[in-house]
């Protein structure tokens, strides 16, 4: 079999040799790519997904994005690549009511702890007592039938505002990367026109935490076998329409020749290469509003009470959606460095991670001695480098009720899969956190087997080819 090589980009650190299998020509077809999150831009446009698609002969790509500024166009626009603003359709009152009823029905019929827990504060009285209770008592299978009927009703009452776009470009396939969004527009228009659709589920918690699919694609791309089973079980998608590819954002973790070495990394971030590096990555503000208190307590123990058994330093990396001003709050703290995750942007998650930012995170996961976080994807990032992981399971200076506490995240379905591996440790209070930090700093090989299991189960294949596999799935379906 013949293979072809090319350099995907001349951007910073992007001169990676990529190998792709030549694919059949696409014969003048048009592909829509829809993205409204920075994480989607990272997963699709700044990986081999876009590189492979862009290099297909006779394929026109139209990217619909919330970012359409000149720098974005300079980076991605090409002779066969067009950038268009993403049209947004805000649902009317009736459609919102239908969507809410669908979520309540789905929560009741599937019994998923994660979504039920997230939904508790929003539960609708009329939905529960006028629809769910009677159906469960009289005709349990009726919930699924009603869900299907509500989906058809939602589609009927959703206006089609994109006639000009579809007539102008006549797409053969619509590839969307944010299945759960309030502003579905092109996705619904494609379904109304019976145009082929394929969706990448961009986060590992989505099938159990976000509710029913707001619009059902013809094909779904997922990270791993766990997600495949969840989509099959909870979203009634046939197995042969669910494609496992791995995680494209982790592909560059195999490109370690282009990483900064330890000395250069420490110089860049004003760190001491001779001290142990403890990294704390925060969650979004709604996960734990007082997370800065956890960091303050950790700093107190490490540097004021001097309870670390090794000379150390602390790096705090805020979540892209975290609105707390860590740099301002901790600016006078010695031995504490803030690593911003990338520039803010007009995306739904306020983030536009550049390739340099992606490498910065990878280098941090490689060079840090351990990672502390609250039930986040960073756990998988760290496991990819066999870096020890501690999960915080307390709420700062004062305990919070369960529904407001970070403790609830460790009962979520997707994260229970992590805890089963034995690859992470939970710290129920500050004392446990300090004890576990010292333990890992003495022997970082502890729990290594569990971290390898995390990589096997969550990444499926950590081989640097996930982006290529996604492109192959999209092109294969486009040509059918």
Task: For the chain, list residues with pLDDT below 50.
Answer: 1-24, 125-126, 129
Burial class (CB in 10 A: 0-12, 13-18, 19+), 388: buried
pLDDT at position 26 = 58
Task: Give the count of alpha carbons within 13 A of 410, CB side only.
Answer: 18
Q: Are 166 and 174 in contact (CB under 8 A)?
A: no
Distances (CA, A) of 466 to 84, 419, 461: 26, 25, 8
CB neighbours of 291 closer than 8 A, spacing ≥ 6?
282, 283, 322, 324, 374, 396
How far is it, in rounded angstroms, from Cα 269 to Cα 279?
13
CB neighbours of 416 closer than 8 A, spacing ≥ 6?
410
pLDDT at position 14 = 39
Q: Is 256-459 assigned to CATH 3.10.310.70?
A: no
Listing DSSP states for 177-210 in one string gives S-SS-TT--HHHHHHHTT-EEEEE--STTHHHHS
How far is it, in rounded angstroms, from Cα 30 to Cα 50?
14
pLDDT at position 90 = 79
Per-residue pLDDT of 82-91, as tens digits, reads: 999 998 877 8
Determine how many CB atoms are found less than 10 A away from the CB of residue 416.
Answer: 13
Burial class (CB in 10 A: 0-12, 13-18, 19+), 68: middle
DSSP single-letter state for residue 421? T
How far is it, in rounded angstroms, from Cα 337 to Cα 281?
12
Residue whose tokens read 């990529």: 18
pLDDT at position 75 = 94
Any bridge partners for residue 389, and if so which?
Answer: 371
Q: Do domains 4-89+159-250+464-479 and 256-459 have the same CATH topology?
A: yes
pLDDT at position 3 = 31
pLDDT at position 127 = 54
Determine how many CB atoms are found less than 10 A away from the CB of residue 479.
Answer: 14
The closest of 408, 413, 407, 377 to 392, measured between CA atoms, is 407
Alpha-helical regions (H) of 403-465: 413-419, 430-442, 448-459
Listing DSSP states for 224-289 in one string gives SHHHHHHHHHHH---GGGEEE---GGGGGGG-GGGSPPHHHHHHHTT--TTSEEEEEE---TTT-T
pLDDT at position 408 = 94
pLDDT at position 11 = 40
Model pTM score: 0.90
Dihedrals phi, psi of 6, to nearest 5 degrees: -160, 160
Alpha-helical regions (H) of 300-354: 326-329
pLDDT at position 53 = 97
Task: Give the count of alpha carbons within 13 A of 400, CB side only.
Answer: 19
pLDDT at position 131 = 57
Which superfamily, per CATH, for 4-89+159-250+464-479?
Glycogen Phosphorylase B; (3.40.50.2000)
How far is it, in rounded angstroms, from Cα 309 to Cα 442?
8
Determine how many CB atoms are found less than 10 A away from the CB of residue 267.
Answer: 12
How far is it, in rounded angstroms, from Cα 201 to Cα 180?
9
Domain ranges (residues) in the chain: 4-89+159-250+464-479, 93-156, 256-459
Any bridge partners for residue 48, and if so which?
Answer: none
Report the side by side order of strands in the sheet with 196-200.
81-85, 59-65, 29-35, 173-176, 196-200, 219-222, 242-244
How far is it, in rounded angstroms, from Cα 269 to Cα 340?
11
How far is it, in rounded angstroms, from Cα 200 to Cα 471?
11
The closest of 196, 221, 202, 187 to 471, measured between CA atoms, is 221
């Amino acid at each position: 079999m013949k293979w072809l090589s090319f350099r995907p980009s001349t951007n910073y650190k992007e001169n990676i040799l990529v190998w792709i299998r030549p694919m059949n020509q696409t014969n003048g077809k048009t592909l829509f790519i829809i993205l409204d999150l920075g994480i989607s831009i990272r997963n699709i446009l700044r990986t081999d997904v876009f590189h492979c698609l862009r290099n297909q002969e006779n394929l026109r790509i139209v990217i619909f994005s919330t970012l359409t500024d000149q720098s974005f166009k300079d980076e991605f626009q090409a002779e066969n690549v067009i950038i268009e603003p993403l049209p947004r359709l805000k649902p009317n009152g009736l459609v919102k009511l239908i969507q809410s009823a669908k979520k309540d029905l789905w929560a009741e019929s599937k019994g998923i702890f994660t979504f039920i827990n997230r939904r508790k504060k929003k539960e609708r009285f009329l939905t529960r007592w006028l629809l769910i209770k009677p159906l469960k008592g009289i005709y349990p299978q009726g919930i699924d039938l009603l869900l299907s009927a509500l989906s058809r009703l939602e589609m009927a009452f959703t206006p089609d505002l994109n006639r000009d776009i579809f007539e102008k470009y006549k797409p053969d396939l619509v590839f969307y990367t944010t299945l759960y969004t309030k502003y579905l527009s092109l996705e619904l228009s494609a379904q109304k026109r019976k145009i082929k659709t394929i969706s990448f589920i961009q986060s590992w918690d989505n099938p159990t935490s976000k509710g029913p699919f707001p619009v059902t694609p013809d094909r779904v791309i997922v990270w791993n076998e766990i997600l495949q089973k969840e989509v099959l079980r909870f979203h009634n998608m046939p197995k042969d329409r669910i494609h496992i590819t791995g995680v494209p954002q982790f592909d560059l973790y195999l490109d370690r020749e282009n990483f900064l070495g330890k000395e250069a990394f420490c110089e860049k971030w004003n760190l001491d290469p001779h001290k142990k590096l403890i990294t704390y990555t925060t969650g979004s503000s709604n996960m734990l509003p007082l997370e800065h208190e956890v960091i303050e307590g950790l700093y107190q123990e490490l540097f004021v009470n001097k309870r670390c058994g090794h000379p150390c330093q602390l790096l705090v990396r805020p979540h892209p959606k975290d609105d707390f001003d860590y740099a301002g709050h901790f600016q006078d703290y010695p031995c504490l460095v803030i690593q911003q995750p990338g520039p803010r942007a007009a995306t739904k998650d306020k983030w536009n991670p550049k390739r340099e930012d992606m490498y910065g995170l990878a280098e941090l996961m490689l060079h840090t001695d351990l990672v502390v976080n609250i039930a986040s994807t960073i756990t998988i990032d760290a496991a990819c480098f066999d870096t020890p992981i501690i999960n915080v399971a307390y709420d700062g200076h004062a305990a919070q009720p369960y529904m407001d506490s970070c403790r609830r995240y460790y009962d979520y379905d997707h994260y229970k899969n992590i805890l089963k591996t034995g690859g992470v440790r939970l710290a129920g209070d500050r004392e446990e956190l300090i004890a576990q930090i010292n333990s890992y700093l003495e022997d970082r090989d502890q729990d290594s087997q569990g971290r390898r299991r995390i990589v096997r189960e969550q990444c499926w294949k950590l081989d640097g080819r996930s982006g290529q596999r996604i492109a192959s799935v999209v092109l294969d379906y486009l040509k059918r």
